[in-house]
Amino acid sequence: MDRPGQTVSATTFAQLTGVSRERLRTWERRHGFPAPHRAGTGPRRYRLRDVPRVVAVRRASEDGVPIAEAVARAAVEAPGAEIPADAFAAMVEHAPLPVAALAGPEPLEVTYVNGALARLSGDEIEHVAQRLLASACGPQLQALFAAEHEEVICDHPRWDGAPGQVRSVAFRLPVRPGEQPLVALVGIEAARERALAGEVEQLREEVSALRERDDRNNRWMEAIARLAAEFQVEASAAARDSALDTLVRQLNATDAALATYLSGQLAVASSRRDSLGPSMITVTAHPAIARTLRDAQPSWLEPAAASALGVPDGLHACGVPVVVAGEPLGMVLLLFDELEEISNDVQRLLTAVSAAVGFAMLRDRLADELRDAVGQG
């Protein structure tokens, strides 16, 4: 609602007047007519009561009158604030939107329908009045007949009685003294438009989900690429700890830990954020973990396996196997509040980082074995 008059969209206004949106903007630019209403940078909206003036200008133009003269004439001979019933019927007869005139309030009768509703039979038109009264639109129409409001937008049952709702603008029409009040009902949203609006909203949600997934994948790839660069410079225990901290920050993870594999067991000493304490499990007791190590593919751990490793309730663990030359050395555990998709790109990069971690672990193992051999010698 835009007081003091009801406004409609540019598309609806063009349909009601028979003047295209492009032509309306040209008239506005050259002659300041018609003057739309805009809230900030919002879309143009036109007063419903400007319809007769625009129609008058259009008809004068069709008769050869220059637009500037037709606009000036419309300003001087502008119709009153109300639209006469006969002029209203002539204007909307060929409009592609459904238009009806109602007499009332008691009994409520449909006294006129335009071409868009002409396919309805007499019985169906009778039912239109009954359905309107029984809907939420009924009290709004009653208030209009009592002159309590100038215009209202109401949702009501479809004109043909099929399931669903449509939207119309309703306003009073002037009548001669002693005649029954008349209310006009102009459809501004048909079932097709509502269905299209639903499809557009669904597409918007899909685009939003795609953007979110793309942002997440970019975040993962950026973090993992950074870690790979760090391991190329230094592959030490300190570098591994720094790598886990980077994973936590960049991936919005809750915590991260490195579990080592030895003699068929997977052991966790601690995690970077202390979510995990010392724990050890036998891999063969958890087929899902055994399969993850065998396939060397990152995956989400099953709740039972995550619980055995000490993952707190409410958190989800992603296991990134550390495998070098077919030999399992351990697993990087990443903890999250929510499950996140592991795309093919992220999976490949996680696998590359796990190989770098494996290189560091293998180097440390060889260094330990060398020290032991020197000590024994």
234 shares its domain with 317: yes
42 shares its domain with 69: yes
pLDDT tens for each residue of the chain, 377 residues long? 333 456 788 888 888 888 888 899 889 888 888 888 776 667 888 887 788 888 888 888 888 889 888 888 877 655 444 556 666 667 677 777 888 888 877 788 888 888 888 777 767 777 888 888 888 888 888 888 887 767 788 888 888 888 888 888 888 877 666 677 788 888 876 555 556 666 777 888 888 878 877 776 677 667 666 666 665 555 566 767 777 787 777 777 899 998 989 889 999 988 989 999 899 999 999 888 888 888 888 888 989 889 999 999 989 999 989 888 788 888 999 999 888 777 776 677 677 667 767 777 777 777 777 777 777 66
Q: What pLDDT sits at residue 86?
A: 65
CATH number, domain of 258, equals 3.30.450.40
128 shares its domain with 183: yes
154 shares its domain with 276: no
Note whether residue 199 is domain-resident. no
173 shares its domain with 302: no
Note whether residue 2 is domain-resident. no
234 shares its domain with 128: no
Count how many domains the chain has.
2
User: Domain span at residue 77?
Assistant: 7-192
CATH number, domain of 18, equals 1.10.1660.10
- Give the closest residue to 228 by CA, choosing from 356, 64, 116, 98: 356
Sequence-ordered list of residues with C-beta below 8 angstroms from that of 294, at least 6 positions apart, any chain? 328
Other C-beta atoms lying within 10 Å of the C-beta of residue 232: 9
Q: What pLDDT sits at residue 4?
A: 43
83 shares its domain with 225: no
Note whether residue 198 is domain-resident. no
100 shares its domain with 239: no
- Give the closest residue to 256 by CA, choosing from 186, 317, 325: 317
Note whether residue 201 is domain-resident. no
Does the model's pTM come out above 0.95?
no
DSSP 8-class letter at 48: G
d(CA 215, CA 213): 5
130 shares its domain with 232: no
235 shares its domain with 152: no
158 shares its domain with 250: no
Helix (H, G, I), strand (E, B) or coil at 300: strand
146 shares its domain with 112: yes
Note whether residue 134 is domain-resident. yes
Calculate the alpha carbon distances from 25 to 21, 31, 66, 121, 323 in Å.
6, 10, 17, 39, 67
Note whether residue 197 is domain-resident. no
Note whether residue 43 is domain-resident. yes
